[in-house]
Amino acid sequence: MSVRRALLILAEGAEEMETVISADVMRRGGIEVTVAGLDGSEPVLCSRNVRIVPDTSLDAAMHKAPFDAVVLPGGNGGAKRLSESATVKEVLKTHEKEGKVLAAVCAGPTAFLAHDIAPGKRVTSHPSVKDKLSSNLQHWSHTKCFEYESVFVAAYVYCEERVVSDGHIITSRGPGTSFEFALAIVSALCGEETAAKISVPMILK
């Protein structure tokens, strides 16, 4: 099997544990991970004042696209910047169209909502952003007997599980679920056997 490749997008205000643990565990699983800075390749100040140096900028990383997975860490500030970025929207839309794995943890799934990614899917998140994902409504109108009938549907099916996988969409709840989140990505890209194998020496249980 060819080497799987993942793009982790790092924005100012990202949650450090979700960033580092996700990248670390994926690399243990044999995934080639590119940590790409949203605003460039300079060190990124994260939510707890830890600076993380990206491998490259997001613009430069996109020359290597497509990836097998796109990963969004949480952190309120980081998630807000991911949600406001036209570049992130383009990355997510392109990879969604190609059926690639899209994964987000903590507040990260709000970027899926902001960019209209995977409506109707089962998702989870940090409890602090649950209402955004579970009560936000999408609106469609369609013609019926020459009249418009409006239909309102919840954007996502919200779940309380620690990690939720629905097709190519993987979401998780926060720093404390980061290992499980990353292992779910490894399982999706490299198989459950690989995920189980790398979890043993990490002594997760």
Write down the domain spans for the chain: 5-199
C-alpha to C-alpha distances, 169 to 52, 55, 83, 166, nearest whole angstrom: 26, 25, 17, 5
Residue for token pair 């993987």: 170
Cβ neighbourhood burial of 41 (10 Å; 0-12, 13-18, 19+): middle
Residue 137: pLDDT band with limits 50, 70, 90: low
The CATH number given to 5-199 is 3.40.50.880
126 part of the active site? yes
Per-residue pLDDT at 162: 98
83-123, pLDDT tens digit by residue? 999 999 999 999 999 999 999 999 999 999 999 999 999 99
Nearest to 52 by CA among 90, 83, 9: 9
143-195, pLDDT tens digit by residue? 443 344 445 555 899 999 999 999 999 999 999 999 999 999 999 999 999 99
Which tokens hold the place of 177?
A: 């679920």
Per-residue pLDDT at 155: 82
106 part of the active site? yes
Catalytic one of 46, 95, 106, 115: 106
Cβ neighbourhood burial of 141 (10 Å; 0-12, 13-18, 19+): exposed
Catalytic one of 46, 115, 126, 190: 126
